[in-house]
Amino acid sequence: MNRPLDLGPPEDFRAARHLDVLIPTRNRPAELAVTLSGLAAQEGVGDFGVVVSDQSDGEAAYRHPAAATMVRALRHRGHPVLLTRRLPRRGLAEHRAALLAASAARYVLCLDDDVWLEPGTLRRLVTAIEELGCGFVGNAVHGLSYADDVRPETHRHYEEWDGPPTPERIRPGTPEWERASIHPAANLLHVTQKLRLAPGAWRAYKVSWIGGCVLYDRAKLVDSGGFEFWRQVPDNHQGEDVAAQLAVLARHGGAGVLPSGAYHLESPTTVTERDVEAWEVVLADEDAPQPA
């Protein structure tokens, strides 16, 4: 039997590290173990911590022996891990806001609990955000069950940045909004294969938003409002990542990074009540006519 798992003291976790990985999870012990295993295999970014916030209906997912072993492996490799519970559930945006508040790192990676990162991914993302100087960079997740499903009509939405990203105000119905069509299935994987990049090379490309694996400059995320809009939206929402990224894009710019080392586990969602798009509510408030 496993010995009791140390959750870690929150006051000790808030240190001035270079990077923290923020993982919200619910009812996904197997997927969480895989996600943590990807982090445990990262190299070249020594100064990073991990915080896992659980909202499972029963026992916390990180107490499953496989997930607990990966927590211990991360700590063994010198990475502090904080394990928390955030109950009652008040929606995705509130959960992400609580995770952000747990960290004082220079950069924060918002990583979903069903994403495996191949070795070298963290190093590439940190290199990209440091060189580009923008508000966020991200790796769109590959769905490998679609590896043989090539959709060339989506590839035209791939457009590289020529120089550092600049701020963009992006709204639905614009050509810029359609950039997101490059991310479903394995579309980005096919674009990457066509480029035939040299080993170690990467490209920054224009995005409207990215799901699953996004690295923020923490100060720029907070400057753009973070996830504090959670008070504006009902609990049964999705699209909180879209709302946050649109705000950061407008102030500080952002980019996707190719190749992506993020792979979606393609498990069923645990967010079954998602009647409201958070970004629609936030944009409606931002774009509403102001009193004279």
Q: Per mean pLDDT, which range of 34-48, 104-118, 223-237, 266-280 is the poorest?
A: 266-280
Q: What is the mean predicted confidence (pLDDT) over 227-250? A: 95
248: Cβ contacts below 8 Å, ≥ 6 apart: 135, 136, 216, 220, 221, 224, 254
Phi, psi of 50 (to 5 degrees): -135, 130
Render pLDDT for 184-220 as a digit per residue (tens, 0 to 9): 999 999 999 999 999 999 999 999 999 999 999 999 9
Residue 292 confidence (pLDDT) = 57
Give, as one character, the DSSP assignment of residue 160. B
Between vectors from CA 43 to CA 38 and to CA 46, what angle results, nearest 5°?
110
Residue 270 confidence (pLDDT) = 82
Percent of the chain with pLDDT over 70: 98
- Under the banding of pLDDT at 50, 70 and 90, the label for residue 3 is confident
Q: What is the mean predicted confidence (pLDDT) over 116-137? A: 98
Q: What is the mean pLDDT of the chain?
A: 95
Render pLDDT for 170-182 as a digit per residue (tens, 0 to 9): 999 999 999 999 9
Torsion-angle region of 229 (φ positive above 0: left; ψ -120 to 50: alpha; else: beta): alpha
Q: Per mean pLDDT, which range of 36-45, 58-67, 129-138, 262-271 is the poorest?
A: 262-271
